[in-house]
Structure 1
Amino acid sequence: MGAVKGCDLPETLLYSIDNNVWVRREADGNVTLGMTAYACALAGPVESYTPKKAGKEVKKGRSCATLESGKWVGPAKTPISGEVVAVNEAVSASPGLINQDPYGQGWLVKIKPADWDADAVDLKTGADALTAFQAKMDADGFNGCA
């Protein structure tokens, strides 16, 4: 498990640094997407989760869900294009799961990628992701995850 400024960042996942989201390619070819611990720290406790419905097409760089916390309302932007194939019903019932377990039970959506190979080129993993997050956090003046 990697960490930057106290924020867990599992080195096995792929990250969209600009969008503060992670993705994991599953055995069936679909991609699970969620918020990073860094994004959770910035947003504070998530109070509302409104995902795109299963069957909806999403475009790279566009919203796959809208999240709301006491500090922030905004989109979770997907780093890949494709079709939403599943939404997290547990998070619908309890949005706080996003903060409690961002890399496990707090995932946001599952997407069937339209062109994984093309979209994955822009994602970072391992030491590259940790270095990129360190630079982003420093530039943002972020003090660290609690």
Structure 2
Amino acid sequence: MKIEDEIQSSKFEDNYHKAVINISYTYSWMNNLLRISFEKYNLTSQQFNVLRILRGQYPKPATINLIKERMLDKMSDASRIVDRLVQKELVSRCTNNTDRRAVDIHINEKGLEILSKMDSEFKTSDLLKHNISEEEADTLSNLLDKLRG
């Protein structure tokens, strides 16, 4: 559906303004679709992102700084997100053996199990493949990379 129809307005300063509105609207639209999947497991998108980062590191530990660097939402408070994941018993924290000031974060079996279930239940490609081809998805991704410079 066209952005004009979605927001019920066609008053844009120019095509750049229209593109910014469209990207912002689409970001919100995708987050709402993903949130449904995350809520089933009592997770937020940021918590899911941290779990995926930790699974990518597994079996090696991660630090808060590594998590911050790799998070999609750079404004998120990684320490607080990890605290919540510890409370949910999906990750563990322990002092680094070589640097007592650093804290190692590991995903545990319960966290890995939840991600595995989520992987089998939905694929991110399902959000797009009904409306755009894989080639169009590649073009879109390349345009977004170009936009960020």
| Shorter-normalised TM range | under 0.3
Between structures 1 and 2, the one with greater helix share:
2
For normalisation by structure 2, the TM-score amounts to 0.27
Q: Which has the larger radius of gyration?
A: 2
